[in-house]
Amino acid sequence: TSIPSVRLHDGHEIPQLGYGVFKVENEVAADVTTQALEAGYRHLDTAKVYGNEEGVGRAIRTAGIPREELFVTTKLWNDAQRFDDAIAACEASLERLGLDHIDLYLVHWAVPAQGTYVEAWKALIELQERGLVRSIGVSNYPAEQLQEAIEATGVVPAVHQIELHPYFQQRELRAVHAEHGIATESWGPLGQGKSDLLENPVITGIASAHGASPAQVVLAWHLASGIVTIPKSVTPSRIVDNLAAAQLTLTADEVAAIDELDRPDGRGGADPATKTS
C-alpha cells in the first residue's frame, strides 16, 4: 500500500494516514498495533494517558520493521506541563515504548486555566534540541494559546493535532496553521461514532459511487484536504479498510459536497478553551 507523506516545516516527513489507539487497553494495543503494522500502517499515534505505550512498543519490536520506516507519535499529559516534569515524562514515554527517539511529541492539551502551556512548549523545544524527539507539536491549543506559544519562543509547532471531521472542519484554526506552515492533524476523523456522520446521505452516496465504505470516503476527504489523519479501529477488517482510503481519490465536486457538511455545533469532544485538567 502506498501512503502519501506530508513534509513538515522542520524537514521531516509524516505519513498522512496513521493508526490511532485511543481507548485501547495495553494488552489489546499490542495485538491491534501488530495487525495495523501487518496491514501496512507505518505511523502510530499513542499518548501517555492512553496507558498503552508499552503495548504499542512491544508490537513495534515484534514487527521488526526498520525504525526509520516507522513514525511514532506520543503526547505529554496535562499533569506534567512544568518544564522538568515534561522532560521526565518524555524520558518515561521513551522507556515504555522501548525507543531511543520519538518521531513526533505533542503537548496533549493546552489547558489554558493551568497557565503552563508555554512552559510545556519550551520543554518540547529542549527535548528536540537534546535529540529525544525529532518533531514537536501541540494538540488542542486554541488559536490564542497557539499564537502565545509561538510568540514566546519563536518556535512554530510542526503539527497541530485537533478534533476535525466533516461535521467540525476547523476552518479558522486551519487558516492560522496555513499562515505559520503548521501541518493540521485530525483526531476523531470519523466522528468517534458520536454522530450520524457515517450514515450521512452525502457520504453514503459518494461511497456507493466508488464502491467504497463511508469511512473510506471520510478519510479520503481528510487526505484530499491536505490533513494528516489517524483513524482508530480494533476490528481487523476496518483496520485494513481505513488504510485503503489512501487509494480512493474523490472528485473536486465530491470534496466540495463534503465541505458543505460543516456545522457550527459539530464539536464532539471537549472544548480546548475551557478544559481544566
Q: Determine the length of the chain.
A: 277
Give least dist CB 250 to ligand NAD, A: 16
Cell of 35: 495487525
Q: Which is nearer to ligand NAD, 113 or 129 (CB)?
A: 113
Q: Do the beta carbons of residue 117 and residue 149 sit within 8 Å?
A: yes
Q: Which is nearer to ligand NAD, 80 or 190 (CB)?
A: 190
Which residue's C-alpha cell is 518515561? 92
Q: Which is nearer to ligand NAD, 27 or 84 (CB)?
A: 27
Q: Which one is catalytic: 19, 41, 50, 117?
A: 50
Phi/psi of residue 169, nearest 5 degrees: -90, -10
Buried b (16+ CB within 10 A) or exposed e, 256-265: ebbeebeeee
Give least dist CB 180 to ligand NAD, A: 19
Q: Which is nearer to ligand NAD, 17 or 21 (CB)?
A: 21
SS3 content of the chain, % helix, strand, coil (to 5): 50, 15, 35
Q: Which is nearer to ligand NAD, 91 or 271 (CB)?
A: 271
Contact positions toward ligand NAD, by CB under 6 A?
20-22, 45, 108, 139-140, 161, 187-193, 198, 213, 215, 230-233, 238, 241-242
Q: Do the beta carbons of residue 230 and residue 192 sit within 8 Å?
A: no
Give least dist CB 77 to ligand NAD, A: 11
Q: Which residue is nearest to ligand NAD (CB)?
A: 20
Calculate ∠ Cα 157-158-162, nearest 5°.
Answer: 75
Q: Do the beta carbons of residue 253 and residue 210 sit within 8 Å?
A: no
Cβ neighbours, 10 Å, residue 216: 24
User: What is d(CA 140, CA 246) in angstroms, rounded to the nearest whole number?
Assistant: 25
Give least dist CB 37 to ligand NAD, A: 15
Q: Which is nearer to ligand NAD, 132 or 214 (CB)?
A: 214
Query: Is position 50 annotated as part of the catalytic site?
Result: yes
Give least dist CB 235 to ligand NAD, A: 7
Cα 191 to Cα 110, 226, 269, 273: the distances in Å are: 22, 18, 9, 20
Cell of 104: 513526533
Calculate ∠ Cα 197-203-209, nearest 5°.
Answer: 160
Give least dist CB 46 to ligand NAD, A: 7
Catalytic residue positions? 50
